[in-house]
Amino acid sequence: MSKSKTVRLVRPPMKGYTVGQLEDNVFAPIGLYLLASVLRKRFPGIDVKVVDGYNKSNDQTIAEIGNPDIVGVTCGYWNYDNALPILEYSKSKGAQTVIGGPNMTHLARRTLTNRDFIDFAVVNDGEEALPAIVEGVAGKNTPNLFYRDGNNVLESLVRRNSPLDTLFTLEDMSAEEMEKLKGHSVPVAGIRGCAKAEKEGPCDFCSICHPLSEMEQDLIWQQARILKSYGFRYLWEVGETVFQSYLQKLLRTRPVDLEDIQWKFYICADLVNEDVAELLRDLGTKEVQIGIETPNDEILQNVGKKARLDDIIRAVDLVSSHGIDIHATAMYGLTGETPESAKRTYEFIRSLVAQYPQIKKITTSHALPFFGNKMFRRLAKNPEYAKEYPGDLNKDDSFDYRALTRIYTKHFTSVDFDQMETLVQKTRALMDGRGYGTSFDLVN
């Protein structure tokens, strides 16, 4: 670099959750901390900071960013609309602008086509792309990059996983943010991608498109030791689903001084057996998130889930019997949903909550046709359905997901949208006074 550049890596404010849910469901933007570590290693002395706008306003977030040379923003579907004004403001102040995160997996080309204030879009791993942007050499040979050449939006020639060998610190985290994290899990990413999606394709509602990769276990434990030095002993493996061989290797390589580390894992119900439950227990697992979605086997099969009702019941029972808390998820409006199946989902979740006190959290929502998933594609490719949407499904980069969900519900289920809305709220309320319930609220 000809001069030292200033870089701000930003998580925009969230949308779609109530204030109370945001306060309960705190988590750190570890992807940004990881990228900050990559830049510091590559460019010693670089001025790079993480700005976390999670539960703040856009104005507050912009004020914290200041006037750097480069602004990189991570976003998902839940904060994309907040990312755009941050990037537009930063561009107006002369910054180079970069967007990444889950939302770019399928949306990168559209975003750059529609938003001339964004210079680069990174798809999946950014550990190689971001340093190239900082150095001023990003282009056709930069992995995982969409970029501009005059008025044209181009995709680089290289798409690959970055090596999972970078550890992050929390040096950018303020004392206030550190305090908010107390009692919550700190994410780590030892797994990227989804083993099920890798072999059989994603589920209807999933838009994951990342080749499966796995960090070496000794590095995971080194990361755990770093986080423990900040006082955090509860870690959340955010990989899409954990599997038995991964747990075995993690337990086998655990250092003696890290036996007090507790874990949270995602796991598919069909992968839970007695051996897995014992591994979870022996690793000190505090919580497991199990994707129940629905007890209706026909719907589970239609949407690409491998688990069936018997798997779900066995998984909840085994995990509970080993003293591990459960974070359950449920969906309404999956393809083929009927009034009877929706009611059965609610009654099933309610019966589980009554039977298993280990169920401490529930996340419930409509099945959402997010851009890039099969549900969205069904709408977009049908001209009659697509014209019911007020925008253009084949050109837009920002979407009214309430409107999309109404259209999907109308054509691919026989259930009433308002009935589903009621069931989402009732399911969330099952946790009142016991734990917490969250949902992605479809705001008007």
CA 188 to chain centre: 12
**Cβ atoms within 10 Å of 425's Cβ, excluding its own:** 13
The CATH fold assigned to 185-438 is: pyruvate-formate lyase- activating enzyme (3.80.30)
Average confidence (pLDDT) over 168-176: 88
**Could you tell me if 279 and 244 are in contact, meaning their C-beta atoms sit under 8 angstroms apart?**
yes
- The DSSP bridge pattern shows strands 191-192 and 213-214 to be antiparallel
- Distance, in Å, from the CA atom of 57 to the CA atom of 47, rounded to the nearest integer, reads 24
Q: What pLDDT does 23 receive? A: 54
| Residue 444 confidence (pLDDT) above 60 | no
Give the pLDDT confidence score for residue 434 in this predicted structure: 77
Average the pLDDT over each of 67-76, 176-185, 193-202, 274-283 and give the range with the smallest value.
Answer: 193-202
Query: Is the backbone of residue 98 left (phi > 0), alpha (psi -120 to 50) or beta?
Result: beta
Tens digit of pLDDT for each residue in 314-346? 999 999 999 999 999 999 999 999 999 999 999
Instruction: Give the separation between CA 441 and CA 426, rounded to whole angstroms.
Output: 13
Mean pLDDT calculated for residue range 298-312? 95
Give me the pLDDT at residue 2, please: 42
Name the CATH architecture for the domain at 6-146.
3-Layer(aba) Sandwich (3.40)
Q: How confident is the model at residue 73 (pLDDT cuts 50, 70, 90)?
A: very high
Mean pLDDT score across all residues of the chain: 91
Dihedral class, residue 235 (left if φ above 0, else alpha if ψ from -120 to 50, else beta): beta
Among 345, 343, 344, smallest CA distance to 331 is for 345
Write the DSSP symbol of residue 269: G
Backbone angles phi, psi at 274, to 5 degrees: -60, -40
Tokens 């401490």, residue located? 360
Residue 334: strand pairing partners: none
Query: What are residue 97's DSSP bridge partners?
Result: 71
Confidence of residue 20 (pLDDT cuts 50, 70, 90): low
Q: How far apart are CA 31 and CA 122, in angstroms?
A: 13
Query: pTM for this structure?
Result: 0.93
Closest by Cα among 235, 283, 251, 244 to 267: 244
What are the start and end residues of each CATH 3.40.50.280 domain in the chain?
Answer: 6-146
**Mean pLDDT within 174-198:** 85
Q: Can you tell me the distance from the alpha carbon of 27 to that of 285, in angstroms, rounded to the nearest whole number?
A: 18
pLDDT reading at 187 higher than 50: yes
Q: CATH 3.80.30.20 in the chain, residues?
A: 185-438
- What's the rounded mean pLDDT across residues 59-87? 94
Residue 19's pLDDT band, with cuts at 50, 70 and 90, is: very low
The first and second tokens of residue 376, run together, are 């969205």
Average pLDDT over residues 38-52: 95
Sign of torsion over alpha carbons 211, 216, 221, 224:
negative
In the prediction, which pLDDT does 323 show? 96
Contact (CB, 8 A) for 245 and 275: no
Cα distances (angstroms) measured from residue 166 to each of 184, 189, 216, 246: 23, 10, 11, 19
Torsion 282-288-293-294 (CA) sign: positive
- What does the pLDDT look like over 384-440, one tens digit per residue? 999 999 999 999 999 999 999 999 999 999 999 999 999 999 999 998 887 767 766
d(CA 405, CA 408): 5
pLDDT tens, residue by residue, 234-287: 999 988 788 899 999 999 999 999 999 999 999 999 999 999 999 999 999 999
Check if the beta carbon of residue 224 is closer than 8 Å to that of residue 258. yes
Structure tokens, 403: 């409107």
